[in-house]
C-alpha cells in the first residue's frame, strides 16, 4: 500500500512527470538513430580476390592440368605431356530467386528477389548452384610436338575437353 501511495505522489509531482517524458523521448530518439546506423554484420562485403580464393583457383588449374596430362598422354605419338591451364575467376555462386510478373493496361511490372532461408537475423540466400571457374587458356608441351599430326590431335582433344577455341590453346614440342 505504501508503494502505491508513493507512486501516486510521484505522479502528482509535475517535475517527475516532465523528467519521465524527457527520458522516454530520449530513449525513442536513440532507438531511431541506431536504426539509421549501418550494421557491421549485415553490411555487404566486397568481393575481392583473397589469397585463399587465388589458392583455390590455382589448385583447380593444377588439378585440371594433371587430369588433362593423363588424358593427352594416351594420344598416339604424344609422348610425355606437361599442361598449364589458366582460369578466369574463382567459383561463382548462383542464388535462387523468385519472381512475380503482373500485366496492366499499358505496363508490365516484374519483381524478383532472392529466396532466403533461416530465421531471425540468421537469414541467408539459398544457393541454387556453384559454377566452377571458367578455363581461359591452355599451353601443352609434349615430346611428340614436332609432328603436325600429333599437334592437330592435341589441339582437337584440348578444345573438346576444355570447351576452348583453338586460338586459346598453344601446343609445342618439349625440349
Domain ranges within the chain, ordered by starting residue? 2-36, 48-91+132-175, 93-130
Q: How far apart are CA 6 and CA 123, in angstroms?
A: 48
Cell of residue 91, nine digits: 567459383
Q: What are phi and psi of 132, to 5 degrees?
A: -75, 160
pLDDT at position 51 over 50: no
pTM, two decimal places: 0.53
Comparing C-alpha atoms, which of 80, 97, 87, 42 is closest to residue 174? 80
Residue 60, judged by CB atoms within 10 A of its CB (0-12, 13-18, 19+), counts as middle
CA atoms within 13 A on the CB side of 15: 0
Taking residue 85's Cβ as centre, other Cβ atoms within 10 Å add up to 24
Q: Which three cell numbers stand for residue 52?
A: 585463399
Its CATH class, for the domain covering 48-91+132-175, is alpha beta
Cα–Cα–Cα angle for 165, 167, 171, rounded to 5 degrees: 105
Per-residue pLDDT tens digits for 32-47: 887 777 655 443 444 4
pLDDT by residue (tens digit) across 119-170? 777 888 888 888 788 889 999 999 988 899 999 999 999 999 999 999 999 9
Amino acid at each position: 500500500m505504501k508503494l502505491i501511495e508513493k507512486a501516486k505522489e510521484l505522479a502528482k509531482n509535475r517535475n517527475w512527470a516532465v523528467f519521465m517524458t524527457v527520458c522516454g523521448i530520449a530513449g525513442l530518439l536513440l532507438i531511431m538513430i541506431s536504426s539509421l546506423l549501418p550494421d557491421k554484420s549485415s553490411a555487404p562485403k566486397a568481393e575481392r580476390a583473397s589469397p585463399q580464393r587465388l589458392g583455390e583457383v590455382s589448385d583447380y588449374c593444377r588439378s585440371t592440368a594433371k587430369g588433362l596430362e593423363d588424358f593427352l598422354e594416351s594420344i598416339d605419338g604424344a609422348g610425355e605431356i606437361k599442361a598449364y591451364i589458366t582460369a578466369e575467376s574463382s567459383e561463382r555462386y548462383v542464388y535462387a530467386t523468385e519472381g512475380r510478373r503482373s500485366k496492366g493496361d499499358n505496363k508490365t511490372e516484374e519483381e524478383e528477389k532472392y529466396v532466403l532461408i533461416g530465421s531471425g537475423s540468421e537469414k541467408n540466400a539459398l544457393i541454387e548452384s556453384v559454377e566452377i571457374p571458367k578455363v581461359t587458356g591452355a599451353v601443352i608441351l609434349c615430346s611428340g610436338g614436332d609432328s603436325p599430326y600429333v599437334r592437330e590431335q592435341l589441339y582437337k582433344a584440348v578444345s573438346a575437353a576444355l570447351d576452348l577455341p583453338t586460338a586459346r590453346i598453344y601446343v609445342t614440342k618439349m625440349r
